[in-house]
Amino acid sequence: MRVFKFGGASVRDAENVKNVCHVLKTVGYEDSLIIASAMGKTTNALEVVVHNYFQNRFDLAESVDVVKEYHYNIVRDLFPNEDHDIYASLKGLFEDITYFLLNNKSPNYNFVYDQIVSYGEIISTTILHYYLIESGIENNWLDSRNLVKTDTTYRDANVNWDITIQNIKEQICTKQLFVVQGFIGSDYNGFSTTLGREGSDYSAAIFAYALDAESVTIWKDVPGVLNADPRYFEDTTLLQHISYAEAIELAFYGASVIHPKTLQPLRQKEIPLYVKSFLNPLLEGTNVSKGAPLTPHVPCFIVKKNQLLISLSSKDFSFIMEQNISDIFKLFGEYNIKVNVIQNSAISFSVCVEDKFNHFEDVRLLLTDKFKVSYNENVSLYTIRHFDEDSAQKILGDKTLLLKQVNRETMQIVTKE
């Protein structure tokens, strides 16, 4: 069985949904599993719904209507006959969202987030399921929440592999086409959970691992894995063949084309990963597999924007030793603050972190009990794999250098524009 993952850009409007059919008819779809993300920027729009639920009830209904109208516009383009079953299905899904918003009793933001945001994938795959049938491609729609079982770490759930593998093997058979959702699962009580932003790639790896898949293909709006993000860098180069190890390194440092957790399950079973263009499905793209070259022939650039650079020093000029560092990391872990770079000296400790849940202010107040705390907001973290002097200078330009760290293969630079 082959696993195909289509991201939000590939299903962002009616024309792109039609293009998914074109891709499937071009490369074949028998004995395949399709995993799809929410359409376009739907996740962002549903995050606005969650925000308004907690902070701005006056605009809550309007924010739901924005999501509703976006999807109805796509459906009207794809299904001109308003008696089609998709309209009743879509109506029911938005009624479910409204019911939850009216009846939820939990004050837990992350819990509410997962119950609402997960509908992006449910709606997207429902539309795709019906349109594939309309186009002559028979398929079976399954709810990933009944398959992928997790703990209750809402917004970044951990998969219970044993139960998940059993569920997938029992409910998905070969020789048929299935459509499921990426990014989502459910906990032991049946409440929706999500696997972290961009988690649909990880879902593809989960299903591929459970099914001993022939391959995984991630369909993107780029020709494959590039040595740099074309949104930030010019003259990018396609990496046609890379090893699992190199791809894991690139993903770990933040290469957005592959989700960091995707590669380990594939590597364990040596399932090849292809990253290909949904605009040109016959192009070779990138092949991540065993036996590929260990080192790309060009430097690889990764940038993470909107980072925090935090510097701590002891109030009494004592050394910052292992126990201090352990306490600091424990605090970061408790508040889900991701550490990307560490630099330590005898009396100071600097970290570049990502505060995706906006907990830094709480952490800062706790840190000030023991340390002097200084920080820079909205800094950029650049990582250069297989760097040379020219590539480093290309990054620095006229930026202000705040931190630099180098090892044999990798240079990391924190800058302020």
**188 plus 316 within the same structural domain:** no
What are the residues facing 185 on neighbouring strands? 193
* Residue 28 placed within a domain: yes
**307 plus 194 within the same structural domain:** no
Last residue of a domain, one of 201, 220, 239: 220
Please give the chain's pLDDT, 417 residues, in tens.
999 999 999 999 999 999 999 999 999 999 999 999 999 999 999 999 999 999 999 999 999 999 999 999 999 999 999 999 999 999 999 999 999 999 999 999 999 999 999 999 999 999 999 999 999 999 999 999 999 999 999 999 999 999 999 999 999 987 899 999 999 999 999 999 999 877 899 999 999 999 999 999 999 988 999 999 888 888 899 999 999 988 888 888 887 778 778 999 999 999 999 999 999 999 999 999 987 665 677 899 999 999 999 999 988 877 888 888 899 999 999 998 999 999 988 778 999 999 988 999 999 999 999 899 999 999 999 999 999 888 888 888 888 999 999 988 899 999 997
**26 plus 161 within the same structural domain:** yes
What are the helix (H) ranges across 104-226? 109-117, 119-134, 161-171, 200-211
Last residue of a domain, one of 220, 241, 275: 220
pLDDT at 402: 94
* Residue 271 placed within a domain: no
**7 plus 141 within the same structural domain:** yes
**201 plus 87 within the same structural domain:** yes
- Residue 12: strand, helix, or coil: coil
The enclosing domain of 202 has a CATH number of 3.40.1160.10
**213 plus 96 within the same structural domain:** yes
- Under 8 Å between Cβ of 1 and 29: no
- Under 8 Å between Cβ of 108 and 154: yes
Dihedral, CA of residue 362, residue 363, residue 369 and residue 373, to nearest 10: -110
* Residue 290 placed within a domain: no
Distance, in Å, from the CA atom of 275 to the CA atom of 254, rounded to the nearest integer, reads: 16
3-state secondary structure 42-100: HHHHHHHHHHHHHHCHHHHHHHHHHHHHHHHHHHHHHCCCCCCHHHHHHHHHHHHHHHH
CA distances from 362 to 208, 277, 326, 355, 402 (A): 40, 42, 18, 11, 24
Number of domains in the chain: 2
Containing structural domain, residue 116? 2-220
**Bridge pairing between strands 273-277 and 184-186:** unpaired
Distance, in Å, from the CA atom of 102 to the CA atom of 242, rounded to the nearest integer, reads: 49
**304 plus 194 within the same structural domain:** no
Cβ atoms < 10 Å from Cβ of 348: 15
Q: Which amino acid is at 59?
A: D
Q: Which amino acid is at 320?
A: I
* Residue 113 placed within a domain: yes
* Residue 62 placed within a domain: yes
* Residue 198 placed within a domain: yes
**71 plus 185 within the same structural domain:** yes
**101 plus 212 within the same structural domain:** yes
* Residue 262 placed within a domain: no
The enclosing domain of 310 has a CATH number of 3.30.2130.10
- Under 8 Å between Cβ of 238 and 284: no
- Of 375, 381, 379, 366, nearest to 411 by C-alpha is 381
**331 plus 184 within the same structural domain:** no
Q: What is the pTM of this model?
A: 0.86
* Residue 36 placed within a domain: yes
Last residue of a domain, one of 220, 236, 269: 220
pLDDT at 258: 80
**196 plus 322 within the same structural domain:** no
